[in-house]
Amino acid sequence: MARYFLELTYNGTAFHGSQVQGSTPTVQLALNKALSTILREPVETFGASRTDEGVHALCNYYHFDTDKELLQVFFYNLNSILPGTIAVNKMFLANDPELNSRFAALTRRYRYRIYAKKDPFILERAYHFPFKLDRALLDETAKIIMEHENFETFSKRNTQSFTFICKIHQSYWEQVDKELHYVVEANRFLRGMVRGLVGTQLQVARGRMTMENFRAAIHAKDCTLADFSVPGHGLYLENIKYPDGALTELFV
């Protein structure tokens, strides 16, 4: 039995999240159905990172097992049968057949896109936020986030996590053409965490929360003090890293 990894990109507005939820349209359900159809056997995939309804992915990984030989035509057939809102970018063989796409991931990087001037061509691709923001305050809040490891304040309730500890590797804002982006990379993320970080920082940048209150909110470990209201369609899962040598790319 061999284990394969698929690198996917998808438009999150077409799905009610990435993880299987019965018959509700999700990324994982579409992938399971496509793989089962091609391989003519029940196939269950396992995702590296769960994304919420509306959240996009430029790079998410799913692994699955099969004892069938997979030729290059499999890669093309899979993309053909998947809906147009999902694409398989790359396919890998796991060098360790027990390698888990979720638990073996070293880091995950997310990007949240904001634009101020109404633009119909990026509707549901970024968050329209036509309010004045203090960029210096955003830069400061992003640096403060780097100082902490417990992010219980930025985790939605009813989470399945046993710990709220996350190691943040990057946290910064940058201007990209006409858009303002927040980039955050960590070893793991909590439920709703990135949207909570973005929404709460925006409250500071609009003058609705002081920097002292922002720091206090982090220490309070109370999710009612965070703002999770920013929409999912502004968020992108951008990159996932695995240990060097863990995967061998196929059909290059």
Q: Which of 52, 119, 177, 244 is an active site residue?
A: 52
Return the number of other C-beta atoms located less than 10 Å from residue 61's C-beta: 25
Asked if 47 and 102 count as a contact pair (C-beta separation under 8 A), the reply is yes
Please tell me what DSSP assigns to residue 205.
Answer: H
Residue indicated by tokens 């994304």: 51
Asked if 209 and 50 count as a contact pair (C-beta separation under 8 A), the reply is no
Asked if 225 and 208 count as a contact pair (C-beta separation under 8 A), the reply is no
For residues 60 and 49, what is the distance between their CA atoms, to the nearest angstrom? 7
Give whole-number Cα distances, 250 to 70, 105, 109, 119, 167, in Å. Answer: 10, 19, 24, 39, 32
Token digits for 131?
Answer: 């309010």
Decide: helix, strand or coil at residue 246.
Answer: coil
Asked if 110 and 21 count as a contact pair (C-beta separation under 8 A), the reply is no
How many Cα neighbours within 13 Å face the side chain of 76? 5
Active site residue 52: yes
Burial of 177 (0-12, 13-18, 19+ CB in 10 A): exposed
For residues 11 and 124, what is the distance between their CA atoms, to the nearest angstrom? 10
List the catalytic residues. 52
